[in-house]
Copies of this chain bind each other. A is one copy, B any other.
């Protein structure tokens, strides 16, 4: 099954564009887990997945949080992925990038060994650094186009030929998108940019949209500008706002409640 079909199928089944970001962080996790569990991180992720898997279209795992754990991080990543139901989209968010022969090695790890459905890729190196990722059929590489952070504009807003760099990137994505394995990352914190990029890329390119919740992105505009005309193909991520909604023993239930609320808010505008 190709990526778009997988995404549409699960989004429709769960009536959801919500992606939960499993960004494990000891300082924010329920302290009780570290007293009672052998493997607190895995138990945390499993409990969150068990409580939310009927409510989401995707899970996103930011690799930085796993790598920060050192040698145990890789297996935690692997075991967490194994716990996610096959029908739900898995996004490995590593923002990888390198020259061709090296990018191929990253792709092997992310797609073949870790079995991600999709990943994030930084476009700064240009086409030949991106292509090794796009060559995987039935997978999707989300290219950083407009990021959600405050300094995003430092380079992404530099204008050339009447268009900022992020539009130049979007235009390349349009070209690469013909392979059918390419999406974009656009931050919810920049709704006007989101509108421009969806306008340019049309109906069939999936958008990964971080930045709502703690980062302050507006849900109404995110849905209005980020989805296609069927109000689909946008994956709206929330990490901290969901997984750290509670810090007591009922953290997973609190995360479920936060997911339901977010999904309802999103669907109000679809």
**Interface residues of A, Cβ cutoff 8 Å to B:** 23, 25, 62, 64-65, 67-68, 70-71, 73-75, 78, 95-100, 102-103, 105-106, 108-109, 113, 122-129, 144, 147-156, 158-160, 165, 168-169, 172
Q: From DSSP, what is the main secondary structure of chain A's interface residues?
A: helix
Q: Kindly state the separation between the CA atoms of A172 and B155 in the bound complex, as whole angstroms.
A: 10
Task: Decide if A98 touches B62 in the complex (CB within 8 Å).
Answer: yes
In the complex, besides A124-B147, A160-B160, 13 extra interface pairs with C-beta distance below 8 angstroms are A64-B105, A64-B109, A67-B106, A67-B109, A68-B106, A73-B74, A95-B98, A95-B122, A126-B149, A126-B156, A127-B154, A128-B149, A155-B172
Q: B105–A68 contact, CB under 8 A? A: yes
Q: Which residues on B sit within 8 Å (CB–CB) of A159?
A: 160
| A129 and B154 alpha carbons, distance in the complex (Å) | 11
Question: Which one of B64, B108, B124, B152 contacts A122 once the chains associate, using CB atoms below 8 Å?
Answer: B124
Judge whether B129 and A149 touch: CB under 8 Å.
Answer: yes
- Give Cα A108–Cα B100 distance, bound, in whole angstroms: 27
Nearest CB in chain B to that of A144: its residue: B124
Which residues of the other chain, B, contact A148 by a CB distance below 8 angstroms? 99
Q: Is there an interface contact between B160 and A158, defined as CB atoms closer than 8 Å?
A: yes
**Copies of this protein chain in the complex:** 2
A124: chain B residues at CB < 8 Å are 122-124, 144, 147, 155-156
Pair A70/B109 contact, Cβ less than 8 Å: yes
Chain B, Cβ-Cβ closest to A69? B109
Beyond A106-B68, A126-B156, whether A99 also contacts B149 by CB under 8 A is: yes
User: Can you list 13 pairs linking A and B with CB atoms under 8 Å apart?
Assistant: A62-B98, A65-B105, A68-B105, A68-B108, A70-B113, A71-B74, A99-B147, A122-B124, A123-B155, A155-B165, A158-B165, A158-B168, A159-B160
Alpha-carbon gap, A105 to B96, bound state (A): 15
The minimal Cβ–Cβ distance linking A182 to chain B, given in whole angstroms, is: 14
Q: Is the CB of B68 within 8 A of A78?
A: no
Q: A124-B147, A151-B125 are in contact. Are A103 and B64 (CB under 8 A)?
A: yes
The chain B residue with its CB closest to the CB of A108 is B68
The CA of A74 and the CA of B78, in the complex, are separated in Å by: 14
